[in-house]
A and B are shown apart, each in its own frame.
Chain A
Amino acid sequence: MDFDRIFKQSFSEITPLSDSKTICKNVMERASKMSNNTKPRKSKAATAAIAAAAVIAAATVTVGAATGWDFNEIFGGFMHSEDEAFANQILACDENVEWTISDDNYELVLNGVTGTQYNMFANYEIVRKDGKPVTEFMTNVPEDGTLLVIENEELEWRFTRDDSVKLVIGGVERQCIINDDGNIEVFERWSSDHDITGKRYEIEIRNVYPEDTFEDFRRMNHFTSPDYNDEQNYFRIYGDMGEHKVSDVPINDERVIGLEIEWTLAFDYAPTEEALTSRKIVATGNPVKIYLREGGEGIVHGSYNVISGSLSSVGGTLIVNEEIKRVSSSVSYEHTDTYVTTKDGENHPVTITISDYDGTQHRLNVHFSESLHSEINVIDVDSIESFTINGETFPLA
């Protein structure tokens, strides 16, 4: 979507109702009236020291330059190894991966990787060598394709037009956890998804502000924004101030929520595919990835479903928010009368899209559409009774 064009066309129609001279005349008149109504001011008329306009030039450093970090290159080894190491299983986060790259000012520390046949998560931190927090992130928000490079002691997202790399910026979020000492740690979480030659990679950057208090965190636009009025959920998970609980889902950890549910989805959108049978819901710690696996054969063969959320929580409760929509689809289908029914009889709308990965692999994504925009949707996974797709109900086995 061409946002440049949208905004240029739309706002070009909005012009001041008066011309510059009229505006100036009106302002001068009003200023004159004001001065007549007030005591004479000291003559301290503002002087605008007009200097050459400071233009922040667009960066021209190419990816892969000496100062740049090319994530294609950085993660190349993992991309290669993924086929062997990550096939047929969902791996636990491999925290033994110790890998550091650095330049003069920054150090990227890879803390662990985890992944599946189609997904890989690389969790890493970028730290300044002088020990100061990395606070001077400078970002562009590209439409697609970008890599992280460093220039002038600033981290910047750079565009790349390599068609093989598709990226969707997941945005920047503030998250906080309560550490083992009971202190709040605030993370600035940068996330991005890469589709590289049909495989999807997710990169998270966490920027830690250990000095921040919970009140600081509240002030930052997480809780003050109506979009994320999830304070209630937050307290339910982590406890109120003064009653700090340690999250039982460690960040970067992967865990099985403990569901062994089975149901069959008629995959009539792609007739050549076999019917799907869900075997297990597995969720990584952050973000939640729930794989509805196919017929006990693992997720490698054929299609599988993904529900993506952003947080897992205690008690098997799944919190799904807008982050679930990050998976884009190249092929989408209209669905009507499609929802999840919980055991209490309530229906929760879902949106289903199908991603055509490489022409042979299809992926069915189930999204809780209620959660788009402003609502935070909480669904107890244990309570799911059935899926209804296009009016056809598939109860859990």
Chain B
Amino acid sequence: MNEQELTRLIELYSGLVCHVAYCYVKNRADADDVMQEVFLSLFTYEKSFKDDEHIKAWLVRVTINRCKNLLSSRRIRTTVPLEEAEGISCEAKESMDVLAVIMRLKPKYRVALYMYYYEGYSVSEIAKALGEQQSAITTRLSRGRKQLKELLIKEGYDGF
């Protein structure tokens, strides 16, 4: 893989990788670290991919694995870095608050819901990307939505 191709893939998928990582590690600094590791893995990966969708699924799986490794290897910071907090605008505050509610779901629910609603993946695509059965993904989506709805209502975000 050359630099040009790597740049293209980073432009295409850095958001996805960052978001999936964030779903697990819950802070942008670690998500950023994971993202760089993932793209490093991609760059040094020796096998070929069938197409962009294949790469995308591979990236999701590797991202989750890296996050799990990170979480199990050290205690994750649970605070938001000061410089990051300062960058949060008033307009973004509500979105960030809702995001904080989302982050209270289990990681597997967060990732499934994120991929379904944000990335627009179908259940079968999520199942393939995560290496799970479709039934498991359907269950995660169902339970995740149910729990998220309850949490949002409890926190007063029932206007969505």
> Which residues in A have some Cβ–Cβ distance to B below 8 Å?
1-18, 20-21, 23-24, 26-28, 30-31, 34, 41, 44-54, 56, 137-141, 169-174, 188, 220-221, 226-227, 322, 325, 372-373
Residues A13 and B7 in contact in the complex (CB < 8 Å), given A23-B39, A26-B36: no
Smallest CB–CB gap between A34 and chain B, Å? 7
Q: Is B11 touching A6 in the complex (CB atoms < 8 A)?
A: no
Report how far A5 CA is from B96 CA in the complex, Å: 13
**Nearest neighbor of B56 in chain A, beta-carbon distance:** A53
Most B-side CB within 10 Å, residue of A5, A13, A174 = A13
Report how far A7 CA is from B92 CA in the complex, Å: 13
Smallest CB–CB gap between A155 and chain B, Å? 11
B139 at the interface (CB under 8 A from A): yes
Q: Is A13 touching B48 in the complex (CB atoms < 8 A)?
A: no
B residues near A4, Cβ cutoff 8 Å: 117
Q: Which of B44, B142, B152, B160 contacts A169 (CB 8 A)?
A: B142
Smallest CB–CB gap between B158 and chain A, Å? 8
Report how far A15 CA is from B14 CA in the complex, Å: 9
Q: Is B28 touching A174 in the complex (CB atoms < 8 A)?
A: no
Report how far A169 CA is from B146 CA in the complex, Å: 11
Q: Is A51 touching B50 in the complex (CB atoms < 8 A)?
A: yes
B70 at the interface (CB under 8 A from A): no
Can you list 19 residue pairs at the A/B interface with Cβ under 8 Å? A3-B113, A3-B117, A3-B160, A6-B117, A7-B117, A17-B32, A24-B10, A27-B36, A30-B40, A46-B45, A46-B46, A47-B48, A51-B52, A138-B122, A141-B123, A141-B138, A171-B142, A173-B139, A220-B133
Smallest CB–CB gap between B23 and chain A, Å? 9
B62 at the interface (CB under 8 A from A): no
B residues near A220, Cβ cutoff 8 Å: 133, 136
Smallest CB–CB gap between A374 and chain B, Å? 10
Instruction: Beyond A10-B102, A12-B95, A45-B46, list 16 extra A-B contacts (CB 8 Å).
Output: A1-B149, A1-B158, A1-B160, A7-B102, A15-B18, A16-B18, A16-B32, A23-B14, A24-B7, A28-B6, A138-B122, A139-B138, A169-B142, A220-B133, A220-B136, A325-B146
Q: Is A27 touching B39 in the complex (CB atoms < 8 A)?
A: yes
Q: Is A48 touching B113 in the complex (CB atoms < 8 A)?
A: no
Q: Is A2 touching B6 in the complex (CB atoms < 8 A)?
A: no
Q: Is A10 touching B99 in the complex (CB atoms < 8 A)?
A: yes
B22 at the interface (CB under 8 A from A): yes
Q: Is A24 touching B136 in the complex (CB atoms < 8 A)?
A: no
User: For residues 70 through 101 of chain B, which have their beta carbon under 8 Å from a beta carbon of chain A?
Assistant: 88, 92, 95-96, 98-99
A residues near B99, Cβ cutoff 8 Å: 10-11, 13-14
Most B-side CB within 10 Å, residue of A16, A31, A53 = A16
Residues A221 and B117 in contact in the complex (CB < 8 Å), given A23-B36, A27-B43, A138-B123: no
Residues A28 and B142 in contact in the complex (CB < 8 Å), given A10-B95, A18-B32, A48-B1: no
Q: Is A49 touching B47 in the complex (CB atoms < 8 A)?
A: no
Report how far A26 CA is from B44 CA in the complex, Å: 14
Q: Is A53 touching B51 in the complex (CB atoms < 8 A)?
A: yes
Smallest CB–CB gap between A238 and chain B, Å? 21
Q: Is A14 touching B28 in the complex (CB atoms < 8 A)?
A: yes
Q: Which of B52, B150, B152 contacts A50 (CB 8 A)?
A: B52
Q: Is B51 touching A27 in the complex (CB atoms < 8 A)?
A: no
Q: Is A20 touching B10 in the complex (CB atoms < 8 A)?
A: yes
> Which residues in B have some Cβ–Cβ distance to A below 8 Å?
1-3, 5-7, 9-11, 14-15, 18-19, 22, 28-29, 31-32, 35-36, 39-40, 43-53, 55, 88, 92, 95-96, 98-99, 102, 106, 113-114, 116-118, 122-125, 133-136, 138-139, 141-143, 145-150, 152, 158, 160
Report how far A173 CA is from B29 CA in the complex, Å: 37
A residues near B116, Cβ cutoff 8 Å: 141
Report how far A86 CA is from B134 CA in the complex, Å: 36
**Nearest neighbor of A24 in chain B, beta-carbon distance:** B7
Smallest CB–CB gap between B112 and chain A, Å? 10
A residues near B28, Cβ cutoff 8 Å: 14, 17
Q: Which of B6, B19, B49, B145 contacts A14 (CB 8 A)?
A: B19
Q: Is A49 touching B122 in the complex (CB atoms < 8 A)?
A: no
B residues near A170, Cβ cutoff 8 Å: 142
Q: Is A221 touching B139 in the complex (CB atoms < 8 A)?
A: yes
Report how far A369 CA is from B152 CA in the complex, Å: 17
A residues near B125, Cβ cutoff 8 Å: 56
B residues near A10, Cβ cutoff 8 Å: 95-96, 98-99, 102
A residues near B123, Cβ cutoff 8 Å: 138-141
**Nearest neighbor of A4 in chain B, beta-carbon distance:** B117
Report how far A156 CA is from B117 CA in the complex, Å: 18
Q: Which of A11, A15, A221, A373 contacts B147 (CB 8 A)?
A: A373
B residues near A20, Cβ cutoff 8 Å: 7, 10-11, 14
Q: Is B139 touching A172 in the complex (CB atoms < 8 A)?
A: yes
Q: Is B134 touching A53 in the complex (CB atoms < 8 A)?
A: no
Q: Which of B18, B22, B98 contacts A6 (CB 8 A)?
A: B98
Most A-side CB within 10 Å, residue of B1, B88, B92, B124 = B124
Q: Is A30 touching B36 in the complex (CB atoms < 8 A)?
A: yes
B residues near A8, Cβ cutoff 8 Å: 117-118
Smallest CB–CB gap between B115 and chain A, Å? 9
